[in-house]
Structure 1
Amino acid sequence: MKVKITKSTILLLISFLFILAIMSYIGLDKIINALINAKPKYIILAIILQIIVSLILSARWRFIIKILGYSANFKNIFLLVLMGLFINNITPSMRGGGEAFRAYYLSKIEKIPKGLAFSTVVVERVLDTSIFLFFTLFVIGYFVFTGFEYLKYLILSWLFLFFITAVVVYLIANKTLLIKTVTKISKIICKYSSYKYDETKILQSIEEFYNSMKFFKNKRGWDVIIAIFLSVLWYIVDILKLWILFLSLSYAVSIICVSAVYLITLLSGVLSITPSGFGTADTIMIVSFSAFNIPPSVAAAITLLDRLISYIFPTIIGYIAMLIIKKKLNDLTT
């Protein structure tokens, strides 16, 4: 763990210095001046939208849990979502590390079988990724005709994300292969950790997971529509939050431009080795906004504000949420 923390710290430091170099090249005085003149009311509105995003994600997760016939306390769900955002922000890549922790603590606190709990976050991930891949495909198509310096990198990220999603879907569709994969991974984890390998419990969890996934597969009508709607809604609100930040700088920009850069930035973080794509995503955001003829100083100021609201704020709140969740779990086990 100490080695991992050290590596993470070094990567963050390198990323920070890299971003600082970019800011210096653009002009720190111009960026600071833009930030000083930012209108607080719009920044506060952006923070509120960040909270609304977490509430939408919580509502969707609770709805998916309800589909399986279980009820969960919304407060606990909200705290788990915040905790998941915190873990995503401190692990490599963007939005990719907190799902397993959310599912684990959900099963403990709400007394939901582990297999079912993990199936809910898998459904979330498949929904989010499918919608994201669909939207970004149009963005990549646009840049194929107009040109973009990092187009090859974006295409590689898209293909990588598509491949991972396809593998997950294939595993879900093949129960035998899923069992072999999970048991092998479990043996490796148990070999190098203090956890005891219990094949019976693992097979039971896989059976619960697989049955719940079949249950989701057989769902039709409003259940599917609502889940998709909530998945699209949180993307829309998140994009709106980024657009609001331009209003704080009194700079008019097209919502289409903001949407394209937002999707490109998320996609660029897929292959990033730094926590939450720190450094990589920021550079891509600045370059992408500049490609839409937005002044570099404005693009850099927006990037810093977005990092403050979408990264630092959720990380702090998420850490507090994790402490509350752990305390709840300790109270339940004592």
Structure 2
Amino acid sequence: MKRLLAFVALLVLGIILFSSVLRFVGWDEIWSAIQGFWGGKGVLLILLTFLMLFVGAIRWSEILRHQGYRVSFWSLLKQYFGGFALSFFFPMAFFGSELFRAYALREFHEVPLQRGIVSTVVERFLELTAYLLVLGAGIFVLLFFHYSLIPPLLWWILLASGMLALALLFFYLKSHRKESILRMFFPRLNDNNGFLEMEQEVLRFFRMRNRAFWEGLFLSFAKAAAALLRTFVLVAFLGGALGFFPALTITGFTFLSLLIPIPGQLGSHEALQVLSFQALGLEGHAGAAFAFLVRAAELVVALFALVLLLRMGAVLVRRLLVSRVERVFQKLF
């Protein structure tokens, strides 16, 4: 019930943000910018979005290979898409995508649940690292080249981004020093606690001498590069021309919107891109149109992924029911 209320509350917040952006920049301007995307341009945006997820699935496959598990890539790809559908429609479900994928690994490929959770947590931290580094580079561009154009509200967003970066830096520092973060909050945890064991495996992965860490980071930046390419293509289709650094800023703010737990980033992505486009000296309605089209492409992919998620979910539920029936019969007979 709490999750349903959270979903409704965040969705309402997104609708309010979206409506506010429309009133601020004007729907007519946004519509005139996006109405040419019903054909090949829209298909290209969707394909680039698929490419981003494809690279993400390769990264997850490599993490599992480092753990000693060789799993069918196409099966992993379906699970990765299913996780994307969960995170797109229900981002308020904390680690919902990661837990689903870990459970699917156990049921479909007999990977222990703890190892599956570690693989998805590692994958998420690698992604967060790439997101924040790209965002940091984009913020540097704003501060260095467009300082006078930054609106007051954007300063608070930049401050929040800095705090996220400090939290990630703290994680890497603890990993380098081989120090537990969980023990800071739960000092009485037993050494044999399963959560501590998973934490230690995650921290070991992120040590600088681990080759798998650098491979995972490379693939994370490859996924970010696909997103950057999508930014270049989309802005070009909108009739603009971007240099590398402004495109980096816009892509960074796209990544920032993914960290806000509003379903489909409704309203939040538009608001961020209006601010970033204006800070770069571009038209605010172009930023809103950019965010709208990114969401449209991701929605198409998410609906496709939702079909895969429902099919996998039906199989998992059936297996769970069969397992429970078998246990009942074992107790009776």
Q: CA, structure 1 residues 107+219, in 2 after alignment: closer, same or farther (shift >3 Å)?
A: farther
- TM alignment of 1:34-183, pairs within 5 A: 34-38=33-37, 40-92=39-91, 97-145=96-144, 146-147=146-147, 148-149=150-151, 150-163=154-167, 166-167=170-171, 170=174, 173-174=178-179, 177=182, 181=186
Q: What is the CA distance between 1:57 and its match in structure 2?
A: 0.8
Q: What is the CA distance between 1:241 and its match in structure 2?
A: 1.4
Q: What amino acid is the match of 2:163?
A: L
- 3-state SS of paired residue (2:263): coil
Alpha-carbon contact 1:64-1:120 (below 8 Å) kept: yes
Q: Once the two structures are aligned, what percentage of the paired residues are identical?
A: 19
Unaligned stretches of 5+ residues in structure 2? 323-333
Unaligned stretches of 5+ residues in structure 1? 185-198
User: What residue number does 2:290 align with?
Assistant: 302
Distance 2:208 2:171 in 1: 21
Distance 2:175 2:203 in 1: 11
Quote the RMSD (CA, aligned, Å).
Answer: 3.3
Q: What amino acid is the match of 1:231?
A: S
Corresponding pairs, count: 315
Q: What is the CA distance between 1:8 and its match in structure 2?
A: 2.0
Q: What amino acid is the match of 1:230?
A: L
Q: What amino acid is the match of 1:153?
A: I
TM-score after normalising by structure 2: 0.80
How big is each residue's C-alpha offset from its partner over 1:178-198, in whole Å with a ceiling of 9 and x where there is no partner?
5984998xxxxxxxxxxxxxx
Q: CA, structure 1 residues 32+79, in 2 after alignment: closer, same or farther (shift >3 Å)?
A: same
Alpha-carbon contact 1:268-1:281 (below 8 Å) kept: yes
- TM alignment of 1:1-334, pairs within 5 A: 1=1, 3-38=2-37, 40-92=39-91, 97-145=96-144, 146-147=146-147, 148-149=150-151, 150-163=154-167, 166-167=170-171, 170=174, 173-174=178-179, 177=182, 181=186, 203-204=193-194, 206-207=196-197, 210-211=200-201, 214=204, 217=207, 220-221=210-211, 223-267=212-256, 270=259, 272-310=260-298, 312-330=299-317, 332-333=319-320, 334=322
Q: What amino acid is the match of 2:243?
A: S
Alpha-carbon contact 1:107-1:114 (below 8 Å) kept: yes
How big is each residue's C-alpha offset from its partner over 1:7-38, in whole Å with a ceiling of 9 and x where there is no partner?
42243234224323322332222222222234
- 3-state SS of paired residue (2:197): helix
Distance 1:44 1:265 in 2: 20
How big is each residue's C-alpha offset from its partner over 1:192-243, in whole Å with a ceiling of 9 and x where there is no partner?
xxxxxxx99x83575366357546749644x444322211100010121122
- 3-state SS of paired residue (1:283): helix
Alpha-carbon contact 2:18-2:270 (below 8 Å) kept: yes
Alpha-carbon contact 1:246-1:302 (below 8 Å) kept: yes
Alpha-carbon contact 2:172-2:206 (below 8 Å) kept: no
Q: CA, structure 1 residues 251+133, in 2 after alignment: closer, same or farther (shift >3 Å)?
A: closer
